[in-house]
Amino acid sequence: MIRKVLKSALLGAALMVSAGTTVSQAADAICYNCPPQWADWATQLKTIQENLGYEIPHDNKNSGQTLSQLLAEKESPVADVAYYGVSFGIQAGEKDVVEPYKPAHFDEIPEGLKDPEGKWFTIHSGTLGFFVNVDALEGKPVPTSWNDLLKEDYSGMVGYLDPSSAFVGYAGAVAVNRAMGGSLDDFTPGIKFFQDLAKNDPIVPKQTSYARVLSGEIPILLDYDFNAYRAIYKDNANVKFVIPSEGTVVVPYVMSLVKNAPNPEKGKKILDFIMSDEGQKVWANAYLRPVRASALSKEAATKFLPESDYVRSTPVDYGKMAAVQNDFKQRYLNEVR
């Protein structure tokens, strides 16, 4: 009997190893942090496969997890390309885990939205605000300001991604901190906001939570405009996107070629494709702002909130934002969580 159990266990282990090998061999390239439910990476990866013939598996890391993995694998990289919020891209360049590469149309990327050597470069951007499932509010009004989120009416209804790990969470912290009178030199107003919000029983996941908003589990999520527009126009959900009255930030998302990647030539072709007309149109059709403005059609532009709302969405010093991220992280962990 014992022999049978051992034999079964060994066979199972062998099958698991074999399956793992098959999955690894099936992938033509690896992209860290390319989750299908975020920024319509599902369509982009499918489009890459159709045009380049590369099969790239979905990857559900967040930006912080991606940087941590690149650092852990520095001596033996697994990924070929990586995607993350701009502050993590800057840190990846500083920590020498990415390779300088200037993809197609690099010269069209505005200054400040790319590393001069190509260690990271913007592919699209989003505006941070409130992604609201109107039905899940159960008759309560749609919040219009950061201060509204602190009202008892919204107890247990507000979600934000963990700002100590997920870039969208950190972007939300930068936005609310500035709206409350803080700066990148002083996060005290933002820390106080999160302390006050903690009394309202917020939901704080680590991963992208698009499906949880659609289901009503998270009625109000601090998130980007493109996810809300996707819910409205593709999933026909009763959703609204709100740019808070006190203001918010516009945030670039960037990509890099991983240093000593297993498949560097494939990685370069993937980055070239993402910056091509066809690759950039995938982002525009997913309601993101492609970094190449020519890719945003007039039809796609009509689905965004009016420009009169977007004037409340402004850039920050992204280099400084990256430089102070760890300081904010420690304050958040020590004073909020």
User: For residue range 251-289, what is the model confidence (pLDDT) as tens digits?
Assistant: 999 999 999 999 999 999 999 999 999 999 999 998 899
- Where residue 26 falls among pLDDT bands split at 50, 70, 90? low
Each residue's pLDDT tens digit, 73-103: 999 999 999 999 999 999 999 999 999 999 9
Nearest-angstrom CA–CA distance, 146 and 322:
23
**pLDDT mean over 153-158:** 97
Residue 2 has pLDDT above 50, yes or no: no
Q: Which two tokens stand for residue 137?
A: 């509010």
Hey, what are 19's tokens? 């399956």
What is the percent of the chain with per-residue pLDDT over 70, rounded to a whole number? Answer: 92
pLDDT at residue number 83? 98
pLDDT of residue 337: 86
What's the CA gap between 255 and 310, in Å, rounded?
25
Please indicate whether residue 271 or residue 1 has the higher confidence score (pLDDT).
271
pLDDT at position 228 is 95
Contacts for 18-27: CB closer than 8 Å, 24+ residues apart: 23/57, 26/55, 26/57, 27/55, 27/56, 27/57
pLDDT at 156: 97
Residues in contact with 126: Cβ distance below 8 Å, sequence separation at least 6, in sequence order:
39, 224, 225, 226, 250, 251, 253, 288, 289
Q: Could you report the per-residue pLDDT of 36-55, keeping only the tens digit for each?
A: 988 899 999 999 999 999 99
pLDDT score of 172 more than 50? yes
Distance from C-alpha of 95 to C-alpha of 203, rounded to nearest angstrom: 32
Tell me: pLDDT of 1 over 80: no
> What's residue 301's pLDDT?
84
Give the pTM: 0.79
Please determine, for residue 298, whether its predicted confidence score (pLDDT) is greater than 90: no
